[in-house]
Structure 1
C-alpha cells in the first residue's frame, strides 16, 4: 500500500520542534509528513517541505513584503490563502490525504481557514489550545476534528508528546479508511439528495427519507438553522449532493429579520446555476427563530405578533403580511439563477406544524397573501404546484418526492443520451 501523505500546518518558528515530532510519528505509523510553514517573522526551527516563501508567493505577496510589515495579523490571510492554494493542487492530484494543524489563537485561526477550504471527507485534525471553548468560528461548516492540546504548544514534554502522537495516529488512521465520498457526477450513479429540515417539518422529512430509500436513493438531511443550509450548498458545489429537496426556507426569513437561523446571502442561490434538480417548499418560513436572553420574556419588537415558544429561550413569532411579502420577494430574487429543472410546491394549509390548521401560528389569510407574493416573485422557469394540504401531509410529501425523482431521472436520461 502506498504511503499516505499528511500535511502538517504550523508556524515553524514557534512550533518547529512539535512539527518535527509529528513527522517522526507519522513515519513510524507508515505515513509521510508534508510540513507546510505558515510562519513569517522568525527563522524556522526545522526544515519545511513547503517553505514560507513558497506559501507567501502562492498567497499573492512576497515573503519579504510580509516580513517588512512586522505584523502577524496582516500576514495571516496571505499565508492561509497560499497554503490553501498549494494543498488544493496536491489534493486534486491525490498527493495529500489528510491535514494536521498546530496552533494557539492565531495559529488555529490560520490553520482552520485553510481546512475550511478543503474538500469534505479529507481528514482534518486541529490540535489547538482553544479547542475546549466555542469552536464554531473555527469549524464553520467544515468536518474539522478539534483536539484540545490542554497545555500550550510550546516545547515537547512527556504530555505533549502523547497529545501529538495521538493526533498523528488520528490523521494516519483516518487516511487509511477505504470508505470514500462518491460525487454526484460519478458516471451512472444515482445522486445523493440533500434535504433541508426544521423541527416543524420533521415528520415530513422522515417520510421523505423513507420514500427516497424505497426508490433506491440515499439522502442527507441538514438542520436548516444557518449552518445546515450553508453546508448543504457547499456539498452541492463540491459535487457530493446532486439533487435537492429544499423543504425548509426559514433561513431566508431569519436572514432578513436577524433571526438565529440566518442562512447567509448565498442561501437558495446555488442549486439553480449548477443545474441540479430541485423541489422547493417554503417550509417554516412564516415564522422566525429569535434567541432571547431571559427565558419566556417576550421582546417588545414581537409583542404584536402571534408567537409560540420553541423552547424557553427561542421565540417563534409569526411574520405579518408585510413581512411575509418581503420574504417572498427575497426568495424570488435568490432563485433568479434557477433557469429550469425546478418545482416549487406550495402547501396551502400551512408551511409546517406551527402553521397548519390547529397550530399556534395558523393564519390562512396571511398564508394566502404570502403565497400570492411568492408566485409573483419567482422566475417563470420554476414550475409552481399548489396543493390544499399542509407541508407535512403524507400526500404532499409523496408528491414532492415523486416530482424530484422525475426531475432526476429526466436529467440522467439526457446525460446518458448525450454520451451516445
Structure 2
C-alpha cells in the first residue's frame, strides 16, 4: 500500500467537513485513507478504518460506548485507539501525512494519533483551540496547528477557505517529500542542551563539533527542549550528546515551570550512546512573572531575567540533592559517560560578583555528584566557569573521544 494522507476524526458529526478535505486532497493528486473516530452516529461516508475498529483498539467497542453514553469515556477510548491505529498504519508504510480537525475532543483524539508518529511525518491539525495553550496537543512532536477561527460546523464561506488552505498545505508537504530524492548524508547527528546563561559554552562546543564533521541539534532547556532531545534519542536520530545544560532537573525538583519530567537525563543512558554531561544552570529554578512565584519562596534570592521570566537561586540543600539525582541517573546508564564540573561557576549568573555566585552551593552540588556517582564514570573537575572556552574544549574533546571509541565497538 502506498503512502497516503490519513484523515482521522469523527465522520459522523464532522463528516461533511472531512469529505470536503478528502475531495480537496484528492483533487491535488494526493490519495487519502480515512480513520473514523465518531461514536454517536453512522459515518457520512465509508471510512477505511471503522469507528468500531478504533474503539476495539482502545479497549472497548462501539456498541459499549454507545450504550454507556459517556462522552468522557468515549473520548478516552477513541484517543487510545487512534494512537494505536495510526502507529500500526505507520509501521505498514501507509502514512504520508496526517490531517485532523475538531474542537477540544476532536483535537485531543487527532493530536494523540499525531504524537504517536515519528518527527518528520507531516501532521496538520485544524482546531478551535489552536489560539490558546497548544502544549498538551503538540507535546514534543512537529504538529502544525491551524486556528479554525469559526467552529467546525458545516462548509461556509470562511470554513471553505480555511479547510482548503489546510488541505493545500498538507498536500504540498506530502508531494514535496515524494519529489525529494533521498539525500545521502553520512554526517552523525549529536545533541546539545543550551540556556541563555550557558550560550557561550554551548556555541563553542557546537562550532568545534561541526568543524569535525558532525551534524548538531541544539535544544533550549525549557522543559520541552529536553523532552524533545530525549524523544529523538529514543527514535535513533541522535548518536551522542553534550548535555551541557541540565537545569531542567532543578525545575523538576523544586517546582519550576521548565521541568522536563522525572525521566530527564535517562534516554542517552538507555540508548547506550556517548554522553558528556555538565551542570549548566543548576543554580536556578525558573518561574514566570514575579507575581507567579509561589509564596513559600518569598525570602529566596531572585533575578529578573526578563518581564516574563523570574529566576530563583537554588539552595545548598537543593544542590546536594541535585548532585545525588544527577549521579544516580547516570549510574543506570549503559553509555560511555563523562561528567564535567566547572568549579568557578555553572552559569553566567553564578560567577564571582554575579547575582547567583555561590561557592557553597557549587560545592554541595559537586559533593552530591562525587559521593553518589558510579566509580567507573569519569568526573572531571575544572577550575574555570562553564562559559570559559577551556571548559567547552574539554567537553568537546571528551565527546569526540567517546564517539571514536563507540564507532570501533
With the shorter chain as reference, the TM-score category is over 0.9
Q: 2:59 maps to what in 1?
A: 60
Alignment counterpart, residue 386 of structure 1, candidates 373, 381, 390? 381
SS in 1 for 2:95: coil
Alignment counterpart, residue 302 of structure 2, candidates 276, 299, 307? 307
Alignment counterpart, residue 326 of structure 2, candidates 319, 323, 331? 331
Gaps of 5+ in 2: none
SS in 2 for 1:399: helix
Q: 2:35 maps to what in 1?
A: 36
**Is the 1:40–1:72 Cα contact (8 Å) retained in structure 2?**
no
Q: 2:369 maps to what in 1?
A: 374
**Is the 2:246–2:278 Cα contact (8 Å) retained in structure 1?**
yes
Q: Do structure 1's residue 74 and structure 2's residue 69 form an aligned pair?
A: no
Alignment counterpart, residue 287 of structure 2, candidates 290, 301, 307? 290
**Is the 1:279–1:342 Cα contact (8 Å) retained in structure 2?**
yes
Structure 2 length normalisation: TM-score? 0.94
SS in 2 for 1:222: strand
The residue correspondences of 1:7-406 to structure 2 (distance < 5 A) are 7-178=6-177, 189-294=186-291, 301-406=296-401
Cα distance change on mapping 1:6 and 1:51 into 2, 3 Å:
same
Shift of 1:3: 6.6
SS in 1 for 2:13: coil
Gaps of 5+ in 1: 415-420
Q: Distance in 2 between matches of 1:97 and 1:282?
A: 41
Cα distance change on mapping 1:104 and 1:245 into 2, 3 Å:
same
Q: Distance in 1 between matches of 2:2 and 2:231?
A: 30
Shift of 1:166: 1.3
Q: 1:418 maps to what in 2?
A: none
Shift of 1:365: 2.7
Cα distance change on mapping 1:107 and 1:326 into 2, 3 Å:
same
Structure 1 length normalisation: TM-score? 0.92
**Is the 1:389–1:396 Cα contact (8 Å) retained in structure 2?**
yes
Structure 1 residues 108-117 or 310-319, which shifts more? 310-319
**Is the 1:244–1:278 Cα contact (8 Å) retained in structure 2?**
yes
**Is the 1:193–1:241 Cα contact (8 Å) retained in structure 2?**
yes
Shift of 1:303: 4.9
Q: Distance in 1 between matches of 2:221 and 2:302?
A: 20
Q: Deviations over 1:51-81 (max 9, x none)?
A: 1111112222222222221122112222122
SS in 2 for 1:335: helix
**Is the 1:17–1:156 Cα contact (8 Å) retained in structure 2?**
yes
Aligned residues: 407
